[in-house]
Chains A and B, each alone.
Chain A
Amino acid sequence: MRTRDEQGYCGLVSEVLSSYLDHSLSASLERDVATHLEECVSCRHRLEGISFLLTDLKKLNVIDAPQELSWSIKRAVHREARKEQAISLLKPFPFLASAAAAAIILVMVGFQGAAVSPSVGETTAPLETLSAVDQGQLQRYILPPQIGGFQGAGLYDDQVAMLDSTRSNAPIRLPGARAVSF
């Protein structure tokens, strides 16, 4: 169907051109648009323009996200997992929970290596004063074997350690805080 108001009709067609390209119009509407396109140079140009645009947009899909990005995500998640597990295991001992939460954070700082935080020496001290908790036991809670023991996870931890050693002073960035130090 054509109207006399050609410009108005072109406006209507332009509203559905991209659906036309995606073949998501009803059959009858698609036929109408196709008929109009055969007769209207400006709508045809617009359609070609959109189709070139779509080709170029697809090419933007290729982004090389740095591989170490996946390592730092895994490291952050593993850390979160250790924290969760330790806290859940210590739930029956509420008087220990807050001390343990502090200890976990300190132990995590320790894992990141001395290069990351110059204050590791002093911050680990309170852990030694946790005489109420058998430290070996606490260590097991914090690093349960099923987390540290996976082959894949072990390999990954090594990679992370290597990465860390080559990037001294690189604090782990957490959202909301550009450089985190505990």
Chain B
Amino acid sequence: MPVLTKQDLEQAELPLMSDEALLSSSLDGNLVAFDLLVDRYYDRIYGYLYRFLKDSDMAEDLLQETFLRVWKKRGEFRNIASFSTWIYTIAGNLARSEWRRRKRWRMLRIGPSNNDDEPDYDLPDESAIPDQVVENRLAAAELIDEVAKLPERYRQVVILRDIQEMSYEEIAGIVQIPVGTVKSRLNRGRLILQEKLGKWYENER
């Protein structure tokens, strides 16, 4: 009859552990613990990156880079912030530098352009959006477009708050701005969206 070792028991308890405990367990090289963190976060972080960049290939690349950085820096994590805040900060920083890199590239390219904040995209990859997500696909597509067109500082808080439903405090931690600034950016971002998309909501009244 097989006897359970202490290590077996520890592994069995992993799924019940907090993110922070899993990360700490991965410090000793416990890859099963780290894999669980990947399972817990990969779709959320992917959603965040995808909504921010509106480019599924780039979101996939940055998603992998996010986890590699978390792995390499796992010894630097301090329990001042939650793991969630920490990983979102890493992903957000990667997304923002990518965004800026593209914007620079676009400015360097020859040829006229008429929108300063909109980088060149591939055609929108709508395969990532399930059909039933928003009933009116046209409205949904336009909403996604408009979110992606928001100036970066508004886009980030709108995605974190209104799409990913985080608290003001969490967002303040991730973006590293005061809660009051989170609120004002959010308000500004929502007003911009509401003005652009007002026509869709006229019919709902």
Give me the interface of A with B, judged by CB distance under 8 Å.
Answer: 14-19, 22, 24, 45-46, 48-50, 52-54, 56-65, 69-70, 72-74, 76-78, 80-81, 85, 146-147, 150-153, 156, 173-176
Contacts and interface: CB of A to CB of B under 8 A. Distances in A.
B137 to A, nearest CB: 12
Chain A interface helix/strand/loop/mixed = helix
A53 B68 contact: no
Given A24-B168, A54-B162, A81-B29, A69 B63 contact: yes
A173 B64 contact: yes
A58 B47 CA distance: 12
B67 interface: yes
The 9 closest A-B pairs by CB, nearest first: A175-B65, A65-B46, A65-B43, A57-B162, A63-B47, A52-B201, A18-B187, A49-B194, A18-B190
Secondary structure type dominating chain B contacts: helix
Contacts of B187: 15-19
Nearest to A20: B187
Interface residues of B, number: 54
8 contacts: A58-B162, A60-B134, A60-B163, A64-B130, A70-B39, A77-B38, A77-B67, A147-B31
Interface of B: 11, 29, 31-32, 34-35, 38-39, 42-43, 46-47, 50-51, 60-65, 67-68, 71-72, 128-130, 133-134, 139-140, 143-144, 147, 158, 162-165, 168, 183-184, 186-187, 190-191, 193-194, 197-198, 200-201, 204-205
